[in-house]
Amino acid sequence: MHLDHIVFNAVDVEKMIEFYSEILGLPTERLDEYRSGKAPFPSLRINDATIIDLFPKQMWQGKSHSGPGHENLNHFCLALSQEQWQELLRRLEAGRVPVEEGPVTRWGARGDGTSIYFRDPENNLIEAKFYAAT
């Protein structure tokens, strides 16, 4: 089993695309198709097996199974190499994205790692972690 995708109910899809592609460095998928109306939502690729989908308001607003967009998600965690993690810290600083907590040691899927916590433009909490080489 592995994580296939995460879905965010986005208020401002373009701002979310900018943050996840420029700050986190994730490549976009179906962005041109979304912008031209051929796809209902764009995605961002975390790795070959995992994506983030960004649902625009018309897909979630007013539907009983979803709240206003963010209340059901505490945070999600992205695992990076130490080099990628350090580069992310530089992009966060350059983009004036505050780190709310960290670096701190936190438990994850592969044991203890070093984490930071920060928020995207719609206030979703993101943990970015690296595991020490063993």
CB 96: neighbour CB atoms within 10 A?
A: 7
Is the distance from CB of 127 to CB of 116 less than 8 angstroms? yes
Q: What is the pLDDT of residue 64?
A: 44
CATH topology assigned to domain 74-134:
2,3-Dihydroxybiphenyl 1,2-Dioxygenase; domain 1 (3.10.180)
pLDDT in tens, 6-41: 989 898 999 999 999 999 999 999 999 999 999 999
Residues of the chain with CATH 3.10.180.10: 1-73, 74-134
| Confidence band for 74, pLDDT divided at 50, 70 and 90 | confident
pLDDT in tens, 108-117: 888 899 999 9
Domain covering 1-73 assigned CATH 3.10.180.10 in the classification: yes
Q: Is the pTM of this model over 0.85?
A: no
Half-sphere exposure of 3 (CA within 13 A, CB side): 15
Half-sphere exposure of 44 (CA within 13 A, CB side): 21
